[in-house]
Structure 1
Amino acid sequence: MQHPVFNSENSGPRASRTRRHRQAGLCVLCAVWVATLGAARLPAADQALRQRELEAKVAPLLSKHCYGCHSGAEADAGLALDHFETISSYLKSRVVWEKVIEKLQLDAMPPPDASELAPAERQFLVTWIRDTINDFECGQQPNPGSVTLRRLNAAEYQNTIQALLGVNYTPAANFPGDDVGYGFDNIGDVLTLPPMLMEKYLVAAEKISRYVIQTPPPDQVFQASYAGAQLEFEGGGNMRDGALSFYASGVASIEEQLPWTGKYRLTITAGGDQVGEEPCQMGIAVGEKRVGTLAVPNDTESPQEFEIELRLGEGARRISIGFLNDFYIAAKGGQPAQDRNLSLFHVELIGRKSGGTAIEPSQLRPQHRRVVFTTPSAEKDSQTATHKVLERLASRAYRRPVATEELRELVGLALEIQAAGDSFEESIQVAMQAILISPHFLFRVESPPASEQYGEYRNLDEFELASRLSYFLWSSMPDDELLGLALQNQLRVGNNLERQVARMLKDERARAFVSNFASQWLMLRKLESFVPDEQMFPKWNDRIKELSKLETLNFFAGVLKADMSVIRLLDADFTFLNQELAEFYGMSGVQGDDFVRVSLAGTPRSGLLTQASVLAVTSNPTRTSPVKRGRWILDNLLATPPPPPPPGVPELQEKGPLVGSMRQQLEQHRADPNCAGCHKLMDPLGFALENFDAIGLYREQEHGVPVDSSGVLPDGTRVSSARELQRVLTEQNRQKFVECVTEKLLTYALGRGLEYYDKCAVDKILATLEDSDFRFSALISAIVHSDPFQKKGEREIAL
C-alpha cells in the first residue's frame, strides 16, 4: 500500500482470519465513510461530481471489496451496502474521517485471501475521503469543539499559587498524581476531583493563607475551670446533683497561680432556694477583701451565670464565694420547713493578655503586602477595606472580574469573622481559604455558547482567551498585562495577541511549556521507570538519567528560543550538554555543570533521535528494542500509531523458542501473519537506530559482532543509519512530521483530544507555515489564532 509515511506500496503478509471476517473490516470502513457525508451541505455542483465519482470509481470498489460480506438481508453485522445508489443516500451522518483514512493508510485491510486493493486504488480512496471532508466540513463554519470543565493539574496549581501570591510553596507535591489522556496530563476529560484531592486542597488553602497573611501575635489566655463538685468549701454544705449546695452559711474557694497582673473575668453559675422576701446573697472576696455581693434568683433548675471583672495581681491568689444570708425555720403545726440554700454549679476564671498591636510595616512579608494592600483606618472603615482587598484578590484568583454576588459573600464571611472578635488580617485569611477552594479558582471555567441551537458557536471572552493563552505557554494564570488587555477588551485588537505570544515565549515562565509539553510529547517522564541492567550498562545511574532528560529539554528550549524550524528537532547539528553528560557520550571540550550548546559536527549524533533520553525510554532493561523505537517514531513523530496487537498474540519475549540475534528473532516473529503488517512498518525505523545501545551510547559492534542497522521501508527505501532515517523523516515526510507536531501542540493547548472536525483547523494551520519554514513561533501563533483555540462550540458524538 502507499503508507502515509513512505508514499509507496506497503507489501507483506497480512493478518489471517476467515475471509468473510477479515473482509468485513475493510467493508465496515467503507460503510463508515459512505455513511458519514452530509449531502445536504454540499453544493449541487459538488454533489454531481461526487455522484459521477461514486458511480464510476467508488461503487465498483465497494462491490469488489465489500459487497461479498455486506449485501442483502443477511449482511454481516446487519450492514448492507448494496442498496446505496446515489450520493445523497450515502451522505447521511458524520464520523471520525481521519480514523478511516488511517486504517486505509496502514494497510490493515483487506486480508490476504480477499481481493487486494491496488496502491492506486487505495490512494484514490484516501484522497477522495479527504477531499470530501474538506468540501463538507471546511467549506462552512467547522465546529470549534468544546473542552470539558478542567481542573488545574498539579503543575498548573503550583504555578498559579506562585503567580497569584508569590509563594514558593509546593503543596502539589503531596497531591495524588494527575491522570493522563491523549498523552498529556492537562486533559479535561481525565482531570477529576476525587475526595482525597479535595481534602488536600483544603489543607493547602489553610497553610497558604496562614503563610501569606501575617496576623498580630495571638493573645495569651489564662483559664481555670471548676465544676461545683471540685470546689473546696467550709461550713454547711454538701454535694447534690453535681452542685455544691450550702444549707447553712459557708464558703467555697479556689486558689490559682496567676501568670500576670491584669484584668480577669470570674464567671459563677449558681441558683438559689429562696425563703422569705430576701433572695440568696452570694459574696465574692479576693483574699480577705470582699469585692462584690450578688443576689441569686430562686431557681436551681435553670441556674444563671454571674460575671464579675476583677483586677488581680500576679502570683498566688485565692478567691472565695460565700453564702451570706442563711435562713431556716423548722416544720411546725403542719407547716413545712423553710430553708434558704445556695447552689454553686460551676466557677471559671479567665484572664487575657494582648499579644500586641498590628505588625510593623517593615516586618510584613512581600506576600502579605501584595494581598493586604490596605487596612481599616480613620478614613476607611473595616467593610470598605475588606471589600477592596477581597475584590482584587478574588478577581486575580478567578482570572476575571469577580461577580457582585461572589464578592458580597466573601466580604460577608470576612465581616462575620471580624464580628466574632478576630482581627482584620485573620478575616482575610479565612476569606482567602474560601477563594482557594472555589471552583472558579480550581477549575478553568468557560461559559457555554449562549444558544443551545446546534451549530451556534461563540468567541471566547477575552478573559477566557487570556487564560487559554497563559495556561498553554506558562502553565499558569494570566499576568497583569494579559488581564489588563482583557479588561479593556483589547486582547484581540490589532496585533496585540501576536505581541503577547512573542512576549510570553521570551518570558522565563515559558520554561513550563518546555517542561510540561516536551517531556510528555516525547515520553520523557517514562525515564523514571527505566532501570537498565547494572552489569550490562554500568555507566547509567540516576544522575545520568536526570542529565539526559535535561539535555532534551534544553535542546527543545534552544530550538524554541531561537525560533528555528520545528524540523530542526530532527536534524539539528547541535545539542546542549554539561561536562558530565559529554563525558558519558565520550565527547571532550565541555567544562562545568552548566548546560551549553555543543556542536555535533563529526559525530554520529543529530536531533532528538540520537539523544540518550529518547533512546533509553524506547529500550528494554537488557537490550535495545527496534519495535519500541519504531513505534515511538510512528506515534510521536508521524502521528500514525499502529493498531494494538491482535488478541491472543504474545509479545516477542513470551513467544517461546525464538533463536538468534534480535533481527533474526523479529524475522521469526513477523512470520506470524498476525504480526507482520505492523512490524514491517515499525522494525525498519527502529533498526536504523541500532548503532545506539539501550542507554544511548554509540556502538559499531555488539558482543563482537558488527551491528546491522539496515532496513527496508515499506516503499523500498533502504536505511542503514540514524542520519539516513533523519533524511527520510525530514525530506520525504516533512509535512507529516509538522502535522504531527501541530496535532500534539493543539491537543495540549486545548486540553482535549482532537476530533474529526478539528482536521480543518489543522490543515489551515499547516497551510500558513510553509512560507515561514515551519518556525516554532509561526506554529504557536497559528494555533492561538485557530478557531478551536479562539472559540467554543459543542462536543459532537460520532454515530
Structure 2
Amino acid sequence: MTATRRYATTTFAILAVIVTSHPPLQHATAAEAAHKKQTQPTDGRNRHAMTFLQQNCLDCHDGSEGEGGFDLNRLQPDDLTGSSAPKNLATWVRVIDRIADGEMPPSEYGEVDTDQKTRFLKTTSKSIDNLVSSHHQSLGRVLSRRLTNQQLERTLGDLFAIAAPLSQLMPDEQRTDGFRNIADAQSMSHYHLEDHLRVVDAALDLAFARLRDNQDETVIDLPAERIANKRPGQRNRDPELRQGAAVIWSGGVSFYGRISRSTVDKPGWYRITLDASSLKMPDDRGLWCSIRSGKCVSNAPLMHWVGAFEATESPKTFTFTAWIEEDHMLEIRPADVTLKKASFKGGQIGFGEGEPQNVPGVAMHALTIERIYPGGDRAAVKHALFGDLDVRYDRKSKRFELRSDTPAEDLKKRLHDFAAAAFRSPVTPEVLQPYTRLIDRGIKDNDDPIDVLRQAYRAVLCSPRFIYFTEAPGRLSDHAVANRLSYMLTGKAPDTELRGAADAGRLSDPAEIVAQTRRLLDSQTLQYFINDFSDQWLDLADIDFTEPDRRMHRDFDLVVQNAMVGETRRYLETLIVENQPARMLVDSDFTWLNNRLARYYDIQADIAPSQWKRVSIADHPFRGGLMTHGSILKVTANGSNTSPVVRGVWICDRLLGIPIPDPPANVPAIEPDVRGATTVRQILEKHRSQTECASCHAKIDPPGFALEHFDAAGKWRDHYLTRKGKSYKKGPPVDSAYRLADGREFDSFVAFRNLAADDDHRIARNFAAQLLIYATGHEITFADRKTLDQIVSLTTADGYRLRSLIEAVVTSHTFLTK
C-alpha cells in the first residue's frame, strides 16, 4: 500500500469512528430532555431558607464586599428547584456546612433559634439532595471519562502482550486535587487525538517488530576489566581498574561513574545484574550507591533512576529491572551525600587520583545487562496480534503473510475478538460495521491483508469506545462494573476471570463484586493500585517537584528520596493487606525502613544491607502514620521552607477529611521571612486577625503548626534555621502548641496526632471519599454524602478497617452507578 493510500485509509477510519454515535453522549442528550420535562418549577418551598438567611446571615454577607468575600445575596429561592443543573450549589453547600458546624452565625451574633436552624438544615439539604440525585439519575453523575495516560499504556500493553513506557508519548495530564482521571478536567482535541494515534502506532510497531526480530536476547556481559575504561595517563569519567575490580570513588563530578560499554543499541526493558563491594568505608556501615541511565553527557543531562544498593566489604549480587532508552548507558556511583568526597581538577578524573584522598569507593566485579520482555514471549505477541489466523513471516520479503482462502471473513472474525477486548464489552455487528467496512474495502482493492488488519486495529483504538468508558446513566452494566473495578484496582482492562464474571452476569451480585475485589487485592497487581493511588491521593507523583536546599539539608540525597517513597508505598500496602484500621493512616507504631532511611530518621534498627524491614517505632513517638513520612513532608514543602498553611490544608483535605474552601481572592499569600527574623507563627497571627481569614485558619493551623517540627526534607527539628549570608545557623525554637477548632488544646505534635487519630470515623470517611473519587473520576457531590455515611456505618463494627472500606466502596450506590 502506498503512503498516500495508507494515509487516506487512516483518515477514513478515524472519521468513521468519530461520527459514530458515542453512547455516553447519546444518553446524555436524551436524558437531558427527559430531565427538563420531569422537573417541576419552583413552588416556594425554599422561601423559608431565604427567610432564615435574611434574618441571620445577609447583614454580614450582602454583596461583593461581604465578610470574607462571601456573597449570599446572589442566592435565590428557585436555585434548587429549577429545570437544569443546581445553581449556586457550592455556595448553598458551604452555607449548610458552616451552619451545621456551628461556625455561622458567630457566637457574638447571638443565639439562633434551634428549631429554625434545624428546619433550615433539613429542608435545604433535602432540596439539594433531591435535585442533585435527580440530575444524576437523568444525566449521570460522571461525564464521559477517558483512559488516563497510564491506563492507556497498560491497556495497549495487555492487548498486544508488550511492555513499554507509552504514556511518556502523551502530553502531561491535568490533576484535580491530585487525581488525573477527573472527567470534568479531561480534554480532547485533534492535538490529543494525534498524540493518541502516535501511541497506538508505537504499540503496533513494537508488537510487529517483536515478531520480525528473531533475536530474543541482547546480553552485555562485562567483567571488571571491561567495566573499567581508564588506563594510566588517561582522564575520563569511567571506572578505573584496581586490584581486579572496576572502581568509582566518592566524588561530586557529574556523570562520574558512567560505564561506556554498558550502552544499549535498542530501547527496551533490561535486567541488570551487578556484583559489587565497598572500599575504604570509615565505619562498619554499608556504602549506598545509585544506578541511573542516560547519555551521561552535558548536552543531554537528563538521567533516569534505576535503583539503589548498599555495598559492603563482602561482594554481593544486586539485580534491577529498568527501561533503558537507545544509546543510553549506566552510571553507577556512591550516592551517600554524608560521606567525604574526593576533589578533582577539571571535568575529568585521572587514573589513581581518587584513592590517595582516602574516600569511600564502590568496586564492581561483574556487570550483566540482559534484554527481557515482561509483556510476554513471542508466542504471546503473535496470539495477541493474530489470534487463530494462520500468519507467517517471510524473512526474504520481510512481510507477514496470511494463509487463507477467505481473507475478508477471517479478518472480520479476528477483528470481532480484538474489538471486544479493546472496547471491554461485547460487540454487535452494528458496532463493528465501520471497521468491517475497512476490511471489505482493503481486500476488494487487493491491499495486503495484514496491512488491512493493522489499519482496522488503528481505527478500533481511536474509537470513543476504546478511549472512553462507555457507561449509561443509572445502574452500571456488568461489563461497566468490571471495567470500573479493574481500572480502580489494577489500572488496566479486566482480566479473563473478571470479564468472565461480567459475561455471566454475576457482577449484579454484591457478593461476587466483593469476591473479585478480594482476588485482585490478593494478586500481584495490587502494586499497581498502591502506586497509582498513592501517586495521586498522596501526591507522591510530585516527589521530584522540589529539590531541598543543600545548605539546609546536608544529608538529603536521591537515595533518601526514593526510600521515602518506598516507605509510604510499603506502609500503605501493609495496611491494606492486613486490613488494619483507618486510624493507622494517621498514627502507627511501625513503619518500613532501609538502612539509609533509618539513619536519616535517626532510628536505630537492625536491618540487613539493601533490605527493607518492618520496624517498630514505639520508642520513636515522632514517627508513625502517613503525615510523619518523609515523602509526605517533602511534597507539602517547597524545598527550603515549610508553611503551616500549605501543610495544614493538605492534611485537612487528604487525611482528615476537613473541607477547606478556597481563600478569598483579595487575601494575599503568606510569604515566610527567609531571614528568620520573624517566625511563621508571628506572621500568621497577624494574618489570622483578619475576620475573613479566621474561620478557615481555625481548621488549617492546628495540623500545620503541629507539623512545624518537621523540616522541608522530612527531618525532625527543634529550631528553625536562619540565614546569615550564604549559610544558615540555628534560629528560634519551634513551637507546635495550638488548639483545634473545637477548642481542645495540644502542646506537641504527638498530642495533636493522638487527637486526630481518635476521630477515626472522619479518617475512614475521608479514605472512602478518596477511593470514590479515584474509582469514578468525579469529585464528591452533596448527594454522595449519604453513600459515604452508609459506607462508614458498614465498617464501624470492625473499627473502620481499610479492606472492609474498599469492599464497602465497590458495592456502594455511587460506585455502581454512572
What TM-score, normalized by structure 1, do the two folds share? 0.65
1:366 counterpart (364, 369, 380)? 380
Give the corresponding residue for 1:708: 735
Residue 790 of structure 2, aligned match among 764, 767, 774: 764
Q: Are residues 677 and 435 of structure 1, via their aligned partners in 2, closer, same or farther at CA, if it must alter by over 3 Å?
A: same
Q: In structure 1, what is the Cα distance between the partners aligned to 2:490 and 2:804? A: 18
Between the aligned partners of 1:196 and 1:649, the Cα distance in structure 2 is: 38
Aligned residue number for residue 401 of structure 1: 426
Amino acid across the alignment from 2:703: L
Q: Secondary structure at the match of 1:637?
A: helix
Q: Which residue in 2 is equivalent to 1:445?
A: 470
- 1:175, distance to aligned residue in structure 2 (A): 0.7
Q: 1:353 maps to which residue?
A: none
Question: Who is 1:538 aligned against?
Answer: 554
1:139–1:562 distance in 2 versus 1, CA, 3 Å: farther
Q: Is residue 466 from structure 1 mapped to residue 458 from structure 2 by the alignment?
A: no
Aligned residues of 1:213 and 1:425 also touching (Cα < 8 A): no
Distance change in 2, residues 1:122/1:766 (3 Å): farther
Contact 1:626 1:683 in 2 (8 A): yes
% identity of equivalent residues: 27
Give 2:219's aligned residue: none
Pairwise CA distance, 1:744: 1.7
How far has the Cα of 1:639 moved from its partner? 2.9
Corresponding position of 1:651: 669
CA separation in 1, counterparts of 2:541 and 2:175?
Answer: 12
Q: Output the amino acid matched with 2:545.
A: S
Name 1:63's counterpart in structure 2: 55
Q: Does 1:692 align with 2:684?
A: no
Structure 2 vs 1, CA of residues 761 and 424 (structure 1 numbering), >3 Å: closer, same or farther? same
Q: Does 1:382 align with 2:416?
A: no
Cα separation, partners in 2 of 1:515 and 1:420, compared to 1, 3 Å: same
Structure 1 CA distance for aligned equivalents of residues 471 and 644 of structure 2: 44
Conservation of the 8 A alpha-carbon contact between 2:738 and 2:746: yes
Cα distance change on mapping 1:105 and 1:628 into 2, 3 Å: farther
Structure 1 pair 428–80 and aligned structure 2 pair: CA distance change class (3 A): closer
Q: CA 1:651–1:67 in structure 2 vs 1: closer, same or farther (change >3 Å)? A: closer
Once the two structures are superposed, the pairs formed by residues 615-694 of structure 1 within 5 Å of their partners are 615-653=633-671, 659-694=677-712
1:315 is matched with which residue?
none
Larger radius of gyration: 1
TM-score by length of 2: 0.64
1:749 deviates by: 1.3
Cα gap change, 1:64 to 1:565, in 2 (>3 Å)? closer
Who is 2:607 aligned against? 590
SS at match of 1:491: helix
Structure 2 residues not aligned, in runs of 5+: 1-38, 64-69, 214-375, 391-401, 721-729
1:479 partnered with 2:469: no
Higher deviation after alignment, 156-165 or 540-549: 540-549
Name the structure 2 match of 1:103.
98
Give the letter for the 1:649 counterpart. V
1:615 Cα deviation after fit = 1.5
**SS of the residue aligned with 2:814?**
helix
Q: Which residue of 2 aligns with 1:727?
A: 754
- Alpha-carbon distance change, 372 to 41 in structure 1, aligned in 2, over 3 angstroms: farther
Counterpart contact for 1:629–1:685, Cα < 8 Å: yes
Displacement of 1:460: 1.4
Q: 1:746 aligns with which of 762, 772, 790?
A: 772
Report the alpha carbon displacement of residue 431 of structure 1 after superposing the two structures with TM: 2.0
SS of aligned partner of 2:592: strand
* 2: CA distance, partners of 1:443 / 1:146: 15
For 2:190, which of 184, 192, 195 is the aligned residue? 195
Equivalent residues in 2 for 1:42-81 (5 A)?
63=55, 65-66=57-58
Distance in structure 2 (CA, Å) of the matches to 1:687 and 1:479: 47
- Once the 2 structures are TM-superposed, how far is the Cα of residue 468 of structure 1 from its aligned partner? 1.1
SS of residue in 2 equivalent to 1:789:
coil
* Distance (Å, rounded) in 1 between the aligned partners of 2:546 and 2:765: 29
Is the CA contact 2:52–2:120 (under 8 Å) kept in the aligned structure 1? no
2: CA distance between counterparts of 1:674 and 1:378?
Answer: 76
- Check whether the contact 1:213–1:428 (CA below 8 A) recurs between aligned residues: no
Number of residue equivalences: 581
In 2, the alpha carbon distance for the partners of 1:122 and 1:513 equals 46
Is 1:116 the counterpart of 2:109? The answer is yes
Tell me the residue number matched to 2:781. 755
Name the counterpart of 2:250: none
Q: In the TM superposition, what whole-angstrom CA distance separates every residue of 1:126-146 from its partner, at most 9, and x where no partner exists?
A: 796158636984899774542
TM-superposed deviation, 1:598: 1.7
| Secondary structure, aligned partner of 1:598 | strand
Report 1:309-328 matches (<5 A): none
User: Does the residue aligned with 2:804 lie in a helix, a strand or coil?
Assistant: helix
1:654 to partner: Cα distance = 7.7
In 1, distance between residues paired with 2:641 and 2:553? 10
Match of 1:778 in 2: 804
- CA–CA separation in structure 1 for the residues paired with 2:211 and 2:732: 76
Q: Say which of 419, 423, 429 aligns to 2:454.
A: 429
Q: Residues 536-575 of structure 1: matches in 2 within 5 Å?
A: 536-575=552-591
> Structure 2 vs 1, CA of residues 187 and 90 (structure 1 numbering), >3 Å: closer, same or farther?
closer
The 3 A distance-change label for structure 1 pair 791 and 494 is closer
Q: 1:749-776: CA deviations, max 9, x gaps?
A: 1111222222222222222121232122
> Shift of residue 708 of structure 1?
2.0
Cα deviation 1:577-633 (Å, max 9, x = unaligned)? 222222211223223334332221200211011111111222243333222222222
Question: How much has 1:108 moved relative to structure 2?
Answer: 6.5
Paired residue for 1:247? none
CA distance in 2, matches of 1:413, 1:599: 63
Q: In the alignment, which residue of structure 2 is the partner of 1:340?
A: none
Partner of 1:176: 171
Larger CA deviation: 400-409 vs 96-105? 96-105
AA in 2 matched with 1:173: Q
Instruction: In structure 1, give the amino acid aligned to 2:631.
Output: S
Output the amino acid matched with 2:815: F
Letter in 1 for 2:384: R
Mapped partners of 2:596, 2:184: distance in 1: 41
* Pairwise CA RMSD: 3.9
Contact 1:554 1:576 in 2 (8 A): yes
1:105 CA displacement: 5.7
Paired letter, 2:418:
L
Residue 386 of structure 2 aligns to which amino acid in structure 1? V
Q: Does 1:605 align with 2:623?
A: yes
What do residues 619-650 of structure 1 show as CA deviations (whole Å, max 9, x unaligned)? Answer: 24333322222222222223333333333333
Greater shift after overlay, 120-129 or 691-700?
A: 120-129
Please tell me whether the aligned partners of residues 58 and 73 of structure 2 are also in contact (alpha carbons under 8 angstroms): no
Query: What is the DSSP-based 3-state SS (H/G/I as helix, E as strand, rest coil) of the residue aligned with 1:538?
Result: coil
Structure 2: how far apart are the matches of 1:507 and 1:590?
27
Q: Pick from 161, 164, 171 the counterpart of residue 159 of structure 2.
A: 164
State how far apart, in whole Å, the 1-side matches of 2:415 and 2:530 are: 34
Alignment gaps of 5+ in structure 1? 1-36, 219-361, 450-457, 793-799
Pair 1:130–1:416, CA change in 2 (3 A)? same
Distance in 1 between the 2:211 and 2:574 partners?
48
Question: Matched residues in 1 for 2:80 and 2:170: separation?
Answer: 49
The structure whose RCO (Cα within 8 Å, separation 6+) is larger is 1
Please give the alpha-carbon distance, in whole angstroms, between the structure 1 residues aligned to 2:115 and 2:739: 21
1:183 and 1:566, CA in 2 relative to 1: closer, same or farther beyond 3 A?
A: same
Question: Residues 468 and 130 (structure 1 numbering): CA distance in 2 closer, same or farther, change over 3 Å?
Answer: farther
Change (3 A) 1:657 1:625: closer
> 1:395: Cα distance to partner?
0.4
Show the counterpart of 1:518: 534
Instruction: Tell whether the 8 Å contact from 1:688 to 1:722 is kept in structure 2 after alignment.
Output: yes
Corresponding residue number in structure 2 for 1:321: none
Which of residues 198, 201, 210 in structure 1 aligns to 2:205? 210
